[in-house]
Amino acid sequence: MKQALILGATSDMGQAFARRCAAEGFGLTLAARNTDVLGLLANDLRVRFNTEIETVLFDALDMAGHPTFYKNLKHRPDVAACFVGWLGDADAVHKDFTAARQVLDTNYTGVVSILDRVAEEFEARGKGIIIGVSSVAGDRGRQPGYHYGSSKAALTAYLSGLRNRLYASGVHVITVKPGYCHTKMVEHFDLPAAITSDPEQVAHAIYKAMKRKQNVVYVLWMWRWIMLAIQHIPEALFKRLRM
Amino acid sequence: MSTISGWGNYPVIQAEANGFETATKLQEQLRAPGEAIAYGNGRSYGDAPLQKRVLMTRRFNKFLAFDEAGGILRCESGVLLADILEVFVPRGWFPPVSPGTKYVTVGGAVAADIHGKNHHVEGSFGRHVLEMEVMRPDGTVMVCSRNRHPEFFELTIGAMGLSGMILNATFRLKPIKTAYIHKQTVRADDLEAVMNLFEEPSHWTYSVAWVDTLARGAALGRSIMIRGRHAAPEQLTCTAQRQAPLKLAPQRQVDVPFYFPSAALNRRTMQAFNAAYYHRCRKGTEQSIVDYEQFFYPLDSIGRWNRIYGRRGFMQYQFVIPKAAGRGAVREILQHITTSGLGSFLAVLKLFGEQESFISFPMAGYTLALDFPVSLQALDLFKELDAMVAGHGGRLYLAKDARMDASMFARTYANVDDFRQAVALLNDSVPTRFASFLSRRIGITP
């Protein structure tokens, strides 16, 4: 039975992906900070799928603990998917560096820290799939939310480089770029329904990408073209816009 | 701020909407002063889950336990019937009571004490609940059942969320051998004919009639009666079904991506639709085997179908008339609706069995549910119907209602004063008081 390690499993996308993997017969290791919700999620999956689920405490910001965390996993993963993310408060973040740091470290540094450990093992054995959930926000920095955006831009570049390095060893890396999605993270935002996905749609897109060995996946599909357009706006004009 | 409404898109309001994933998180939210109410999946039609601050239950949606031996399920209140069908039909279990859509939450099912096409045989949803955990407005959690805090248990079933937040419910699913329904369709020429069909002794578990409320004169109440029972494996006709009797092929979904212009639905188009639907069914009786989606949830395959009514939205009027009032009462009301000239698509007629509950809607007798586009004339018609329904000892369904006033509610629900008092007591000296636009309108909360 194939094993999937899901980091940030209590996020809405992480939960949806966990359900999808369980439905497809994967064994699951769910890792997250919030052990209450993690327990509820694991139990829910057990009732739904009658399958064994391992749950482990994981904090993206506890980088010193990442090597031990990864080494001690009961089941070695075939697939590792990272859903860790933190939006932060766009107003507070540029005034208070501690808040800014949390955004940058959660979305980028912490993810690099754990994925490097995963990549090490996957490369040595010559197979596996690594999935990193970035964001369309990383495709161009705009106000507000450029701390989040830049951390995702960094993550996108990291995943691209990782994909490049691991290609020779047969390990596949997928970059997922969700656009607007109905999740806890943006619960209080009023998002345009036509271009906003549900976590289940993101999970489905990721699963499809795994099967087809896709490299960069936009969810929903139109965000690829939306971001292409946005990326082509000349900077002299872009700097004046308030999107 | 989020834009929220019921399924009728009337009314639509701006509200502070907060989700929660644990009981602890909910408790934190109940420390804020003001009024709040639970919002499940928004499939009630009016303003039952509307308030300036709503507590969204959709993420409070985990399965907690399942006892395979007895089919006893325990799950959080945000679980949808759709989730239960997805997980448990393949294992040979079906919800005990199902409304016209599978997209309702378990919490909503209990709070509205929903009914389905099998009420005369199996009662309402509340009857099948064994135990519940409910967080009262003061943040304490009550474990209740028929033996434990029975008054609070009885109050919560049908209380439209006013007794607090239902956290989870334990209820029995019913065993099935296939995912298919043996369906019978009978055309009835008029109201008398369809009522005869309802009242004749039969072995059908599920019965419902689609009534053409635009038909007049001798054709008043012409309907198509649809009955069904869970199909046995021997009844399945095609090989694919026989090989996997509990599995369904993936359902095709279409969506209504935008609001229709309000002119799209008018008397002429509705008359044409109703006539076509009625004549589509051939004279006499037809039998077939259909999957449970087609039988129970035909409209669920059309996403956001409520947008067909346009931006002004629509209102449902669902009433029940006690058996004691006789067939003439239903005829009189139907006649009045038909004469009004206000269009309604197919209306739904059912016959309820006996039910004695604290504050729930069903009582033994005929229940009719109709949709009307929002208009001043419709509101006037509803006022007239109120008088007739109340006059015959009937009442309206709170899960459908968007406009009934406090005097109509007081006149038609026997336990109004006790209900008001119980809610006031629960809301006494607490930061977050449980109240909705509905409860204020019908005079249960100030």
Q: What is the pLDDT of residues B131-185, one digit of tens each?
A: 999 999 999 999 999 999 999 999 999 999 999 999 999 999 999 999 999 999 9
Q: Considering chain A, what is the average pLDDT of its residues?
A: 96
| Minimal C-alpha gap between A24 and chain B (Å) | 14
Query: Checking phi first, is residue A88 left (phi over 0); if not, alpha (psi -120 to 50) or beta?
Result: left
Q: Half-sphere exposure of residue A230, counting CA atoms within 13 Å on the CB side?
A: 17
Most confident of A48-52, B37-41, B311-315: B37-41
Check whether B59 has a pLDDT greater than 80: yes
Q: What is the ipTM of this complex?
A: 0.93
- By DSSP bridging, strand A79-82 and strand A129-133 are parallel
Which pLDDT value is given to residue B343?
67
Q: Considering chain B, what is the average pLDDT of its residues?
A: 93
DSSP label of B404: -
DSSP class per residue in B35-68: EEEEE-S--SSSSTT--SEEEE-TT---EEEEET
In residues, how long is chain A?
243
Task: In whole angstroms, give the CA distance from residue A177 to residue A158.
Answer: 14
Q: Which residues contact B391 (CB under 8 A, 6 or more apart)?
A: none
> pLDDT for A156-176, tens place per residue?
999 999 999 999 999 999 999
Q: Give the number of other CB atoms < 10 A from CB of residue A236.
A: 7
A contact set with B (CB within 8 A): 10, 12, 36-37, 40-41, 43-44, 47-48, 184, 187-188, 190, 194
Which pLDDT value is given to residue B314?
86
Check whether B272 has a pLDDT greater than 90: no
Task: In whole angstroms, give the CA distance from residue B247 to residue A21.
Answer: 20
| Minimal C-alpha gap between A234 and chain B (Å) | 33
| Minimal C-alpha gap between A87 and chain B (Å) | 17
Which pLDDT value is given to residue B237?
85
> pLDDT for A198-229, tens place per residue?
999 999 999 999 999 999 999 999 999 999 99
Interface A-B, measured as beta-carbon pairs within 8 A, has a size of: 35
Closest-approach residue (CA) in chain B for A193: B257
Closest-approach residue (CA) in chain B for A43: B64
Read off the pTM: 0.94
Give the residue-averaged pLDDT of B64-71. Answer: 97
What beta strand segments (E) does chain A contain?
3-7, 27-32, 53-57, 79-82, 129-133, 172-178, 216-219
CB contact under 8 A, B21 and A40: yes
Catalytic residue set of A? 148
User: Taking chain B, what is the end-to-end CA distance rounded to the nearest angstrom?
Assistant: 24
Residues of B in contact with A37 (CB under 8 A): 21-22
